[in-house]
Protein backbone atom coordinates (compact mmCIF):
# COMPACT_ATOMS: atom_id res chain seq x y z
CA UNK A 1 0.00 0.00 0.00
CA UNK A 2 1.25 3.49 -0.88
CA UNK A 3 0.49 5.85 2.02
CA UNK A 4 1.09 9.59 2.47
CA UNK A 5 1.42 10.96 6.02
CA UNK A 6 1.17 14.73 6.57
CA UNK A 7 2.68 16.35 9.68
CA UNK A 8 4.32 19.78 9.86
CA UNK A 9 7.47 18.54 11.56
CA UNK A 10 9.00 15.96 13.85
CA UNK A 11 10.80 16.99 17.05
CA UNK A 12 11.93 14.59 19.74
CA UNK A 13 9.99 16.33 22.55
CA UNK A 14 6.61 16.45 20.82
CA UNK A 15 4.16 13.68 21.72
CA UNK A 16 2.03 14.04 18.58
CA UNK A 17 5.08 14.26 16.33
CA UNK A 18 6.64 11.29 18.07
CA UNK A 19 3.50 9.28 17.48
CA UNK A 20 3.65 10.16 13.77
CA UNK A 21 7.22 8.86 13.64
CA UNK A 22 6.23 5.61 15.36
CA UNK A 23 3.26 5.08 13.04
CA UNK A 24 5.42 5.65 9.96
CA UNK A 25 8.01 3.13 11.15
CA UNK A 26 5.38 0.51 11.96
CA UNK A 27 3.56 0.91 8.66
CA UNK A 28 6.82 0.67 6.72
CA UNK A 29 7.86 -2.45 8.61
CA UNK A 30 4.48 -3.95 7.68
CA UNK A 31 5.53 -3.64 4.01
CA UNK A 32 3.88 -0.36 3.05
CA UNK A 33 5.52 2.46 1.08
CA UNK A 34 5.34 5.61 3.21
CA UNK A 35 5.69 9.19 1.98
CA UNK A 36 6.16 11.91 4.61
CA UNK A 37 4.97 15.42 3.74
CA UNK A 38 6.45 17.88 6.23
CA UNK A 39 8.39 21.14 6.58
CA UNK A 40 11.18 19.31 8.40
CA UNK A 41 11.84 15.85 9.83
CA UNK A 42 14.60 14.79 12.17
CA UNK A 43 16.53 11.75 11.00
CA UNK A 44 17.02 10.35 7.52
CA UNK A 45 14.09 8.38 6.05
CA UNK A 46 15.31 5.21 4.35
CA UNK A 47 14.05 2.00 2.82
CA UNK A 48 10.36 2.34 2.03
CA UNK A 49 10.10 5.76 3.72
CA UNK A 50 10.38 8.88 1.55
CA UNK A 51 10.45 12.53 2.62
CA UNK A 52 8.81 15.36 0.66
CA UNK A 53 9.57 18.87 1.89
CA UNK A 54 6.54 21.13 2.02
CA UNK A 55 7.48 24.80 1.61
CA UNK A 56 6.08 27.09 4.26
CA UNK A 57 6.53 30.65 5.51
CA UNK A 58 7.79 30.11 9.04
CA UNK A 59 8.22 33.70 10.25
CA UNK A 60 5.14 33.48 12.48
CA UNK A 61 2.83 30.61 13.41
CA UNK A 62 -0.13 32.11 11.49
CA UNK A 63 1.77 32.16 8.19
CA UNK A 64 3.39 28.78 8.93
CA UNK A 65 0.10 26.93 9.36
CA UNK A 66 -1.66 28.77 6.55
CA UNK A 67 1.13 28.22 4.02
CA UNK A 68 1.61 24.59 5.09
CA UNK A 69 -2.09 23.87 4.53
CA UNK A 70 -1.96 25.60 1.12
CA UNK A 71 1.24 24.02 -0.20
CA UNK A 72 0.48 20.52 1.06
CA UNK A 73 -2.86 20.75 -0.75
CA UNK A 74 -1.16 21.76 -3.99
CA UNK A 75 1.44 19.00 -3.72
CA UNK A 76 -0.94 16.18 -2.86
CA UNK A 77 -3.92 16.80 -5.10
CA UNK A 78 -1.87 15.80 -8.17
CA UNK A 79 -0.41 12.63 -6.62
CA UNK A 80 -1.81 9.11 -6.48
CA UNK A 81 -1.85 7.39 -3.09
CA UNK A 82 -3.91 4.57 -1.69
CA UNK A 83 -4.32 6.56 1.54
CA UNK A 84 -3.58 10.15 2.49
CA UNK A 85 -3.60 10.67 6.26
CA UNK A 86 -3.09 14.10 7.78
CA UNK A 87 -1.98 14.68 11.36
CA UNK A 88 -2.39 18.43 10.93
CA UNK A 89 -5.19 20.76 9.86
CA UNK A 90 -4.81 20.48 6.09
CA UNK A 91 -7.33 20.43 3.27
CA UNK A 92 -6.71 17.28 1.21
CA UNK A 93 -6.81 13.90 2.91
CA UNK A 94 -8.67 10.61 3.16
CA UNK A 95 -8.18 10.51 6.93
CA UNK A 96 -7.99 13.51 9.20
CA UNK A 97 -6.38 12.28 12.41
CA UNK A 98 -7.47 14.67 15.14
CA UNK A 99 -4.41 14.04 17.26
CA UNK A 100 -4.38 17.63 18.45
CA UNK A 101 -8.01 17.40 19.49
CA UNK A 102 -10.58 20.09 18.77
CA UNK A 103 -9.18 23.63 18.91
CA UNK A 104 -12.61 25.14 19.46
CA UNK A 105 -13.09 22.96 22.55
CA UNK A 106 -9.64 23.87 23.89
CA UNK A 107 -10.48 27.58 23.54
CA UNK A 108 -13.76 27.02 25.41
CA UNK A 109 -11.92 25.34 28.27
CA UNK A 110 -9.30 28.08 28.34
CA UNK A 111 -11.89 30.86 28.09
CA UNK A 112 -13.62 29.67 31.27
CA UNK A 113 -10.36 30.03 33.19
CA UNK A 114 -9.28 33.48 32.02
CA UNK A 115 -10.01 37.04 33.06
CA UNK A 116 -10.83 39.93 30.74
CA UNK A 117 -7.24 40.45 29.57
CA UNK A 118 -6.79 36.79 28.72
CA UNK A 119 -10.06 36.65 26.83
CA UNK A 120 -9.13 39.74 24.84
CA UNK A 121 -5.81 38.12 23.99
CA UNK A 122 -7.60 35.07 22.56
CA UNK A 123 -10.15 37.17 20.67
CA UNK A 124 -7.50 39.36 19.04
CA UNK A 125 -5.07 36.55 18.17
CA UNK A 126 -5.32 35.85 14.40
CA UNK A 127 -3.76 32.40 14.86
CA UNK A 128 -6.79 31.12 16.75
CA UNK A 129 -9.09 32.44 14.04
CA UNK A 130 -7.03 30.67 11.38
CA UNK A 131 -7.15 27.32 13.18
CA UNK A 132 -10.91 27.67 13.70
CA UNK A 133 -11.38 28.44 9.99
CA UNK A 134 -9.30 25.38 9.02
CA UNK A 135 -11.32 23.19 11.43
CA UNK A 136 -14.59 24.43 9.89
CA UNK A 137 -13.29 23.80 6.38
CA UNK A 138 -12.33 20.24 7.29
CA UNK A 139 -15.50 19.31 9.15
CA UNK A 140 -18.21 21.40 7.49
CA UNK A 141 -16.57 21.03 4.07
CA UNK A 142 -16.32 17.26 4.60
CA UNK A 143 -12.67 17.26 3.51
CA UNK A 144 -12.16 13.68 4.67
CA UNK A 145 -13.46 10.19 4.16
CA UNK A 146 -13.04 9.40 7.84
CA UNK A 147 -12.06 11.36 10.95
CA UNK A 148 -9.72 9.42 13.20
CA UNK A 149 -10.19 10.44 16.85
CA UNK A 150 -7.67 9.34 19.46
CA UNK A 151 -10.26 9.18 22.27
CA UNK A 152 -13.99 9.25 22.87
CA UNK A 153 -13.43 12.73 24.32
CA UNK A 154 -12.17 14.02 20.96
CA UNK A 155 -15.02 12.30 19.12
CA UNK A 156 -17.62 13.96 21.33
CA UNK A 157 -15.84 17.35 21.06
CA UNK A 158 -15.97 17.22 17.26
CA UNK A 159 -19.60 16.09 17.23
CA UNK A 160 -20.64 18.78 19.74
CA UNK A 161 -18.75 21.65 18.13
CA UNK A 162 -19.12 20.82 14.42
CA UNK A 163 -22.07 18.39 14.25
CA UNK A 164 -20.05 15.74 12.44
CA UNK A 165 -22.09 12.51 12.19
CA UNK A 166 -20.85 9.83 14.63
CA UNK A 167 -20.43 7.32 11.79
CA UNK A 168 -17.82 9.62 10.20
CA UNK A 169 -15.55 9.35 13.26
CA UNK A 170 -13.59 6.29 14.31
CA UNK A 171 -11.77 6.10 17.64
CA UNK A 172 -8.41 4.32 17.74
CA UNK A 173 -6.40 4.74 20.92
CA UNK A 174 -2.65 5.28 20.63
CA UNK A 175 -0.03 2.62 21.30
CA UNK A 176 3.15 2.55 23.37
CA UNK A 177 6.62 1.03 23.12
CA UNK A 178 6.41 -1.64 25.81
CA UNK A 179 10.13 -2.39 25.61
CA UNK A 180 11.39 1.20 25.86
CA UNK A 181 9.00 1.99 28.71
CA UNK A 182 9.22 -0.77 31.29
CA UNK A 183 9.40 -1.10 35.10
CA UNK A 184 12.77 -2.84 34.80
CA UNK A 185 14.24 0.53 33.76
CA UNK A 186 14.25 1.44 37.45
CA UNK A 187 17.22 -0.85 38.03
CA UNK A 188 19.09 0.71 35.10
CA UNK A 189 18.41 4.44 35.45
CA UNK A 190 16.78 5.35 38.77
CA UNK A 191 19.82 5.79 41.00
CA UNK A 192 21.93 7.65 38.42
CA UNK A 193 19.22 10.09 37.35
CA UNK A 194 18.13 10.86 40.91
CA UNK A 195 21.71 11.46 41.91
CA UNK A 196 22.06 13.99 39.06
CA UNK A 197 19.26 16.08 40.57
CA UNK A 198 20.31 15.62 44.18
CA UNK A 199 17.40 13.30 44.94
CA UNK A 200 17.89 10.53 47.49
CA UNK A 201 16.81 6.94 46.86
CA UNK A 202 14.05 7.08 49.49
CA UNK A 203 12.58 10.42 48.38
CA UNK A 204 9.06 10.40 46.91
CA UNK A 205 9.18 11.68 43.32
CA UNK A 206 6.22 12.95 41.27
CA UNK A 207 6.75 13.21 37.51
CA UNK A 208 5.09 15.50 34.96
CA UNK A 209 5.92 15.26 31.25
CA UNK A 210 4.56 17.66 28.63
CA UNK A 211 5.16 20.86 26.71
CA UNK A 212 2.58 23.62 27.05
CA UNK A 213 2.54 24.10 30.80
CA UNK A 214 -0.65 26.19 30.96
CA UNK A 215 -2.84 23.73 29.07
CA UNK A 216 -1.39 20.69 30.82
CA UNK A 217 -1.88 21.98 34.34
CA UNK A 218 1.60 22.54 35.79
CA UNK A 219 0.15 25.27 38.00
CA UNK A 220 -2.27 22.83 39.66
CA UNK A 221 0.40 20.18 40.13
CA UNK A 222 2.68 22.63 41.96
CA UNK A 223 -0.22 23.88 44.10
CA UNK A 224 -1.10 20.30 45.02
CA UNK A 225 2.49 19.44 45.90
CA UNK A 226 2.92 22.57 48.00
CA UNK A 227 -0.25 21.76 49.96
CA UNK A 228 1.25 18.45 51.14
CA UNK A 229 2.86 18.19 54.57
CA UNK A 230 4.92 15.19 53.41
CA UNK A 231 8.13 16.13 51.58
CA UNK A 232 7.96 15.40 47.85
CA UNK A 233 10.04 16.16 44.78
CA UNK A 234 8.36 17.17 41.52
CA UNK A 235 10.20 16.68 38.22
CA UNK A 236 8.69 18.72 35.39
CA UNK A 237 9.96 17.56 32.01
CA UNK A 238 9.04 19.56 28.91
CA UNK A 239 9.10 22.93 27.25
CA UNK A 240 7.41 25.89 28.91
CA UNK A 241 7.84 29.25 30.67
CA UNK A 242 9.49 28.17 33.92
CA UNK A 243 9.70 31.69 35.40
CA UNK A 244 5.91 32.01 35.27
CA UNK A 245 5.55 29.16 37.76
CA UNK A 246 8.54 29.77 40.03
CA UNK A 247 6.49 32.04 42.30
CA UNK A 248 4.31 29.04 43.24
CA UNK A 249 7.29 27.19 44.73
CA UNK A 250 7.45 27.29 48.55
CA UNK A 251 8.82 24.43 50.62
CA UNK A 252 8.78 21.47 48.19
CA UNK A 253 11.52 20.63 45.70
CA UNK A 254 10.20 21.54 42.23
CA UNK A 255 12.66 20.89 39.38
CA UNK A 256 12.15 22.10 35.80
CA UNK A 257 14.17 19.66 33.70
CA UNK A 258 13.44 21.02 30.19
CA UNK A 259 12.79 18.75 27.18
CA UNK A 260 14.61 15.40 27.38
CA UNK A 261 15.39 12.83 24.70
CA UNK A 262 15.78 9.78 26.94
CA UNK A 263 12.47 10.32 28.67
CA UNK A 264 12.23 6.68 29.80
CA UNK A 265 14.97 7.46 32.33
CA UNK A 266 12.69 10.01 34.01
CA UNK A 267 9.78 7.61 34.24
CA UNK A 268 12.19 5.12 35.81
CA UNK A 269 13.24 7.67 38.44
CA UNK A 270 9.70 8.57 39.54
CA UNK A 271 7.17 6.96 41.87
CA UNK A 272 3.96 8.32 40.31
CA UNK A 273 2.86 10.39 37.31
CA UNK A 274 0.56 13.41 37.67
CA UNK A 275 -1.02 15.19 34.69
CA UNK A 276 -3.74 17.68 35.80
CA UNK A 277 -4.53 18.94 32.31
CA UNK A 278 -7.12 21.52 31.30
CA UNK A 279 -7.52 19.86 27.88
CA UNK A 280 -5.67 16.91 26.39
CA UNK A 281 -6.99 14.83 23.44
CA UNK A 282 -5.32 11.71 24.84
CA UNK A 283 -1.67 12.20 25.79
CA UNK A 284 0.87 9.51 24.99
CA UNK A 285 2.45 10.31 28.35
CA UNK A 286 -0.39 8.42 30.04
CA UNK A 287 0.61 5.23 28.23
CA UNK A 288 4.34 5.82 28.73
CA UNK A 289 3.84 6.26 32.48
CA UNK A 290 1.58 3.22 32.76
CA UNK A 291 4.02 1.09 30.75
CA UNK A 292 6.77 2.21 33.13
CA UNK A 293 4.70 0.97 36.06
CA UNK A 294 3.66 4.40 37.36
CA UNK A 295 0.16 4.96 38.75
CA UNK A 296 -1.36 7.92 36.89
CA UNK A 297 -3.32 10.86 38.31
CA UNK A 298 -5.08 12.77 35.53
CA UNK A 299 -8.31 14.71 34.89
CA UNK A 300 -11.61 14.11 33.11
CA UNK A 301 -10.43 16.72 30.59
CA UNK A 302 -7.99 14.19 29.16
CA UNK A 303 -8.86 11.39 26.74
CA UNK A 304 -6.30 9.31 28.62
CA UNK A 305 -8.66 9.23 31.62
CA UNK A 306 -10.94 6.91 29.64
CA UNK A 307 -8.58 3.97 30.11
CA UNK A 308 -7.77 4.62 33.80
CA UNK A 309 -9.61 2.52 36.39
CA UNK A 310 -9.97 4.83 39.37
CA UNK A 311 -8.22 3.41 42.41
CA UNK A 312 -6.82 0.45 40.45
CA UNK A 313 -4.09 1.82 38.17
CA UNK A 314 -4.52 5.52 38.89
CA UNK A 315 -6.98 8.23 39.81
CA UNK A 316 -9.16 10.55 37.74
CA UNK A 317 -9.89 14.05 39.08
CA UNK A 318 -13.05 15.85 37.98
CA UNK A 319 -11.47 19.31 37.72
CA UNK A 320 -7.80 20.33 37.28
CA UNK A 321 -8.34 23.30 39.59
CA UNK A 322 -9.16 20.97 42.48
CA UNK A 323 -5.56 20.74 43.63
CA UNK A 324 -6.76 19.65 47.06
CA UNK A 325 -8.20 16.48 45.52
CA UNK A 326 -5.00 15.95 43.52
CA UNK A 327 -3.04 16.25 46.76
CA UNK A 328 -5.38 13.75 48.47
CA UNK A 329 -4.70 11.16 45.73
CA UNK A 330 -0.96 11.80 45.99
CA UNK A 331 -1.16 11.13 49.74
CA UNK A 332 -2.72 7.73 49.04
CA UNK A 333 0.13 6.85 46.70
CA UNK A 334 2.84 7.93 49.13
CA UNK A 335 1.93 4.73 50.98
CA UNK A 336 4.32 2.20 49.39
CA UNK A 337 2.16 -0.92 49.58
CA UNK A 338 -0.78 0.73 47.78
CA UNK A 339 1.56 2.23 45.20
CA UNK A 340 3.19 -1.11 44.41
CA UNK A 341 -0.12 -2.86 43.77
CA UNK A 342 -1.26 -0.04 41.49
CA UNK A 343 2.10 -0.13 39.70
CA UNK A 344 1.49 -3.76 38.70
CA UNK A 345 -2.00 -2.87 37.45
CA UNK A 346 -0.60 0.11 35.52
CA UNK A 347 1.81 -2.08 33.56
CA UNK A 348 -0.90 -4.67 32.90
CA UNK A 349 -3.15 -1.97 31.40
CA UNK A 350 -0.40 -0.59 29.16
CA UNK A 351 0.25 -4.04 27.68
CA UNK A 352 -3.10 -3.84 25.89
CA UNK A 353 -1.91 -0.89 23.78
CA UNK A 354 0.59 -2.55 21.45
CA UNK A 355 2.00 -1.44 18.11
CA UNK A 356 0.53 -4.60 16.60
CA UNK A 357 -2.98 -3.73 17.74
CA UNK A 358 -2.73 -0.17 16.44
CA UNK A 359 -1.30 -1.16 13.06
CA UNK A 360 -3.97 -3.81 12.56
CA UNK A 361 -6.75 -1.32 13.36
CA UNK A 362 -5.21 1.32 11.10
CA UNK A 363 -4.82 -1.11 8.19
CA UNK A 364 -8.41 -2.25 8.62
CA UNK A 365 -9.52 1.39 8.37
CA UNK A 366 -7.32 1.98 5.31
CA UNK A 367 -8.75 -1.04 3.49
CA UNK A 368 -12.27 0.08 4.34
CA UNK A 369 -11.59 3.52 2.83
CA UNK A 370 -10.08 2.03 -0.32
CA UNK A 371 -13.23 -0.06 -0.78
CA UNK A 372 -15.34 3.03 -0.07
CA UNK A 373 -13.48 4.97 -2.75
CA UNK A 374 -14.34 2.34 -5.33
CA UNK A 375 -18.02 2.82 -4.56
CA UNK A 376 -18.21 6.62 -4.61
CA UNK A 377 -16.69 9.92 -5.76
CA UNK A 378 -13.23 11.12 -4.73
CA UNK A 379 -12.15 13.28 -1.81
The pLDDT value recorded for residue 373 is 81
Judged by average pLDDT, the poorest of 11-15, 51-55, 257-261 is 11-15
Q: What are phi and psi of 14, to 5 degrees?
A: -100, 125
Q: Tell me, yes or no, whether 152 and 269 share the same domain.
A: no
Asked if the model's pLDDT at residue 12 lies above 90, the reply is: no
Please tell me whether residues 63 and 124 are part of one structural domain: yes
Digit-coded pLDDT (tens) for 226-255: 999 999 999 999 998 888 898 888 999 999
Q: Does one domain contain both 222 and 250?
A: yes
pLDDT attached to residue 379: 47
Query: Rounded CA gap, 129 and 246, in Å?
Result: 32
Query: pLDDT, tens digit, for every residue of 335-362?
Result: 999 999 999 999 999 999 998 999 999 9
In this structure, the answer to whether residues 346 and 358 fall within a common structural domain is no
At residue 378, the pLDDT reads 47
Confidence grade of residue 21 (pLDDT, cut at 50, 70, 90): confident
| Ramachandran quadrant class, 38 (left: phi over 0; alpha: psi -120 to 50; beta: rest) | beta
Based on the fold, state whether residues 323 and 237 are members of the same structural domain: yes
Neighbour count for residue 349 (Cβ, 10 Å): 20
What contacts 19, CB < 8 A, 6 or more positions away? 87, 99, 174, 284
Mean pLDDT of 313-338: 96
Across 59-68, average pLDDT = 96
Whether residue 99 is found in the same domain as residue 199: no
Q: Once rounded to an integer, what is the mean pLDDT over residues 29-50?
A: 84
Residues 281 and 247 in one domain: yes
Asked, for residue 297, whether it belongs to a domain, the answer is yes
CATH of the domain at 279: 3.40.50.2000
Q: Kindly report the average pLDDT of the chain as a whole number.
A: 93
State the chain's maximal CA–CA distance in angstroms.
65
pLDDT tens, position by position, 122-170: 999 999 999 999 999 999 999 999 999 999 999 999 999 999 999 999 9
Which of the 8 DSSP states describes residue 261?
S
What percent of the chain is predicted at pLDDT more than 90? 83
* CA pair distance 215, 110, nearest whole angstrom: 8
Secondary structure E strands in 150-304: 169-171, 205-209, 233-237, 253-258, 272-275, 296-299
- Mean pLDDT along residues 248-270: 94
227 and 279 share a domain?
Answer: yes
Please give the residue that has the higher pLDDT: either 30 or 324. 324
What's residue 84's pLDDT?
Answer: 97
> Given a cut of 90, is residue 375 above it in pLDDT?
no
202 and 81 share a domain?
Answer: no
Looking at residues 18-24, what average pLDDT do you find?
A: 73
**Residue 180 forms part of a structural domain:** no
pLDDT at 117 over 50: yes
Identify whether residues 339 and 212 lie together within a single domain.
Answer: yes
Q: What is the pTM of this model?
A: 0.92
Chain segment 172-194, per-residue pLDDT in tens: 999 999 999 999 999 999 999 99
CA distances from 134 to 162, 269, 298, 376 (A): 12, 41, 30, 25
For residue 15, is pLDDT > 70? Answer: no
Helix, strand, or coil here: 292?
A: coil
Q: Residue 157: inside a domain, yes or no?
A: yes
CA dihedral angle for residue 282, residue 169, residue 88, residue 245, rounded to 10 degrees: -30
Does residue 251 share a domain with residue 169? no
Residue 332 pLDDT exceeds 60: yes
Residue numbers of the domain that contains 303: 185-350
167 and 112 in a common domain = yes
Residue 234 falls inside a structural domain:
yes
Number of structural domains found in the chain: 2
Percentage of the residues of the chain whose pLDDT score is greater than 70:
95
Q: What is the mean pLDDT of residues 23-33?
A: 85
Question: Does position 101 have pLDDT exceeding 80, yes or no?
Answer: yes
Amino acid sequence: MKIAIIRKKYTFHGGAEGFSQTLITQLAEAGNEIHIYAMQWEGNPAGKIFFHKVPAVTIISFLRDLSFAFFSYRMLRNEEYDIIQSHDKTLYQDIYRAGDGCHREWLKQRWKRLGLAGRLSISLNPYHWLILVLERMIFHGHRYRKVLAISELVKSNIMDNYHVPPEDIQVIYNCVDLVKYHPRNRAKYRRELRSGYGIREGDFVILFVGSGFERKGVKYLIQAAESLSDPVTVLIVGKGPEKKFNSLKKHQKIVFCGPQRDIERYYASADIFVFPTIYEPFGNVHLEALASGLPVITTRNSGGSEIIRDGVNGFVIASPEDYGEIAAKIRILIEEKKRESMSIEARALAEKFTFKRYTEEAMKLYNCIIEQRKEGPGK
